[in-house]
Structure 1
Amino acid sequence: MGSDVPARDELVRRAAELAPLLRKHANWAEDNRRLHDEVVEGLEDAGIFRLRAPKRFGGFEADTGTLVEVAAELGRGDGAAAWVASVYWIPTWMTCMFPDAVQEEVFATPDVRVCGTLSPSAMATPADGGIVVNGKWGFISGAHHSHWQEIIAVYAAPDSEPYPVVALVPMSDLLVVDDWHASGLRGTGSVSTVAKDVFVPAERVLPLPQVLQGQSASAENAKSPAYRTPLLPVASASSVGTVLGLGRAAKEVFLERLPHRKITYTGYESQREAPLTHHQVAEAANKLDEAEFHAHRLSSTVDRKGAEGAEWKLVERARARGDLGSVVRLVKESVDVLATASGGSSVYRDVPVQRIARDVQAVHLHALMHPNTNAELYGRVLCGLEADTAYI
């Protein structure tokens, strides 16, 4: 099954046209702690779930530069929708590391949605023809609308040292625990899932170190630039667009409200006349520009090295994490400035900047996204030390 692959500009245009729909349902998503079905349908119709799927299954095999700009446009409409889309892209890419027969099973579902995790919070034991998994995973964004979950478990066999594995499991095999009561990214439906004696056939299991290195078990995908890069640079580049979109949204909604606001208890009848406002807007805009640099350097590096099929140096992998952290830090700083400048009326629910600020804070606290964690790793490698984590 082939597919005509839309150009980047076309995919970005489709994402931008979804903004009114995403904004329309953003408060519903917050109330119900998941995306509205109409939003999921809109994302599907625009081809958003196909971006990282192989062309032979009707996917687009889009590069990460496209992911950045598509997610940024989605993030301008609703950060939760953008986050779920970008989270789907990562396990979808991981699915492309599996043998071709497994991919045929997963991608048999049109516009298949694969949620997942990178945390090995379950155990796996050997069974005839595969493994049996027991455990629980948290923060599974988009689980309510997923067909499959990519899981991580520690495989413990009597004749070997325990090691982490990646497996693909139909959502029907898992219990979904509706425990997502959060202050930010509320609409992502990032619930927990549970496996109770779930059998996974051996062909749907891979060693996690192999996937972290981008070592594919797929003959069909071996020559595609999209699938020959280590996992963490791919995951980093897949995630930053949502953050950029939240920053752009904060700037836009602030400037939209600006002409109609005064600064209470001052002589300024219009907030835009105040020199303080000029400094705030310039500071926020400059930080957003800096974040754009790091996001595009990250995606350009991933795409260039994928096209070349070149080996990644340790410092390049650490810098990818560093760029991710820099985007998150700079966008949060930009949004914080604008949220502070938005005044007391911004606490009302119909003023989007309050939701944007909460969503950015939630991203900022995410283990993979946290600026401090990423900066420390990058600095450690720059100082000539080995990385102290496999997630690089």
Structure 2
Amino acid sequence: MTSASVRPVMDSESGADASSTFLRQIDEIVPILKANAAETEKLRRLPDASIQALTDAGVFRAGMPKRWGGTEIDPVTWYEAVVRIGTACPSSAWIAGVVGGHSWHAAMFPDEAQHDLWAKGEDVRIATSFAPTGKVERVKGGFQLSGRWKFLSGVDHSEWIIVGGIVPDDGNGPEYRSFMLPASGFAIDQDSWQVEGLQGTGSKEVDIDCFVPEYRTQTIEEVYNGTEPGKVLNTGPIFQLPWLSRFSYAVAMPAVGALQGAIDAFIEDNRSRVSALTHKAAAENTTLHVRLAEASIIARDTRARIVTTWSDMYETVKAGGQISAEARVRCRFEGAYAVAQCLDAAMKIFQISGGGVMDKSKPFQRYLRDIMGMRNHPFNVYETWAPLHSSALLGSPPAPPLMRHSMGCLL
């Protein structure tokens, strides 16, 4: 099957029909992504065919506003799609979750910025780097950016990027902002992504020397107060969901898919494997039975959290409610904790897979290395979020004060 056979989601479809159509399209491209997984790793980015398959399946329109031709797919469906992609190719799932999710973030920017992105009616991909490693200077009409930013997943296939930077003190203290700029404003360092896990994400570094107009920026204060200008324009319920809660699951659910992919690869190998030491079938090993059973339950339970967490959040915003601080920190913790659980489960079955599992031709070792890479993302260090979650459980709801210079105040 080729990606050209995938039918785009139609705006006229109901929410339920659009969701089922979207997942059907994802299922149709899973074989393509799986077949390209080894090449993805070799290239250190997604092959063009994989990007085209994701595009044809509607991945990069799922978070776009309908007024620009997007589909505004509900979060339960969205994260389930990321998991399904991860069973085939974890790097592809990372790009789907992260780059695919950035269209939602861009919808929070002013209308003029959105017009720059989507007025031509095209699928637009956006890479990001929120660590403020470059220099920002306030100039007439906007800001001048210069320097280097790191870890822009999918940047080779992105027409735009959003980067974080700190505006120098103008009397009210330094201010953190997000800045949106086109491909003409940056150069990719093609040798900057030399890693052993998530190789195919192409999370490379860029050098920037670019003017960014004021309207293509977003302040921390807007996000903290929920007053992003895009919310006035894009009124669908998905745009009322918390930004960093969405992002936390975008970098967590690829691990859930990768664990299932690793389990599937493990089962395929061990159905016929015979121990060179005991000459017995590996499938008769009782230790293998225990490890496989444990890993399978972890894969199932972490996946089930999507429905539990995001159905509640989605119903809350559909009813006009606000997501509580307690729910946000729980979401942040459970997403990160799921990644740790997936890595532990994958390691347990790796330890009884035999020496042959380390052969580069075996897909299991790729799944394992990719989950290792995911575990090291700052949002996936669950130990960071445990104190916030535990404090809420103990009766001290988190209420961080506004810090204009840092993302650290955002829940």
Give the TM interval when normalised to the shorter protein: over 0.9
Q: Could you say if the C-alpha distance between residues 294 and 108 of structure 1 is closer, same or farther in structure 2, counting changes exceeding 3 Å?
A: same
Which residue in the other structure is 2:208 paired with?
A: 195
TM-score by length of 2: 0.89
Gapped regions of structure 2 (runs ≥ 5):
1-9, 401-407
Pairing 1:221-240 to 2, within 5 Å after superposition: 221-240=233-252
The answer to whether the aligner puts 1:168 opposite 2:180 as a matched pair is yes
Aligned equivalent of 2:335, options 324, 347, 354: 324
CA distance in 2, matches of 1:214, 1:293: 29
Q: Give the distance between the partners of 2:393 and 2:130, measured in 1 at CA.
A: 25
**CA deviation string 1:348-370 (max 9, x = no partner):** 11211100000000000100112
Q: What amino acid sits opposite 2:38 in the alignment?
A: N
Are 2:369 and 1:358 aligned? yes
Q: Distance in 1 between matches of 2:41 and 2:287?
A: 33
1:156 alignment counterpart? 168
Q: Distance in 1 between matches of 2:98 and 2:295?
A: 27
Deviation at 1:129, TM superposition (A): 0.8
Show CA shifts across 1:287-320 (max 9, x none). Answer: 2222123333332233223312322222111101
Report the alpha carbon displacement of residue 371 of structure 1 after superposing the two structures with TM. Answer: 2.1
Deviations 1:196-244 (A, max 9, x none): 2x21111111202323554320265342101112211121233333122
Q: Is structure 2 residue 49 aligned with structure 1 residue 38?
A: yes
2:4 is aligned to none
1:83-112 residue CA offsets vs partner (Å, 9 max, x unmatched): 011111332111101122221210135111
Q: Which residue pairs with 2:350 in the alignment?
A: 339
Query: Equivalent residue of 1:62, what SS?
Result: coil
Instruction: Select between 206-215 and 108-117 the one with higher mean Cα deviation.
Output: 206-215
CA distance in 2, matches of 1:219, 1:371: 30
Structure 1: where are the runs of 5+ without partners? none
CA deviations over 1:2-58 (Å, ceiling 9, x no partner): 834562222112112212211222121212211101111111111111110011111
**What is the distance in 2 between the residues matched to 1:32 and 1:99?**
36
- Which position in structure 2 is the counterpart of 1:184? 197
SS at structure 2 position matched to 1:126: strand
Alpha-carbon distance in structure 2 between the residues aligned to 1:235 and 1:214: 16
1:123 equivalent to 2:135? Answer yes
CA distance in 2, matches of 1:125, 1:157: 10
Please give the alpha-carbon distance, in whole angstroms, between the structure 1 residues aligned to 2:74 and 2:317. Answer: 9
User: Within 1, Cα distance between the matches of 2:230 and 2:30?
Assistant: 36
Distance (Å, rounded) in 1 between the aligned partners of 2:279 and 2:35:
36
Aligned to 2:409: 390
Cα RMSD after superposing both structures: 1.9
State, as a whole percentage, how many aligned pairs show the same letter: 26
Of the three residues 10, 15, 36, the one matched with 1:25 is 36
CA deviation after TM superposition for structure 1 residue 264, in Å: 2.6
Three-state SS of the structure 1 residue aligned to 2:277 is coil
| Paired position in structure 1 for 2:111 | 100
Q: What count of residue pairs does the alignment treat as equivalent? A: 389
Stretch deviating more after TM superposition (89-98 or 145-154): 89-98
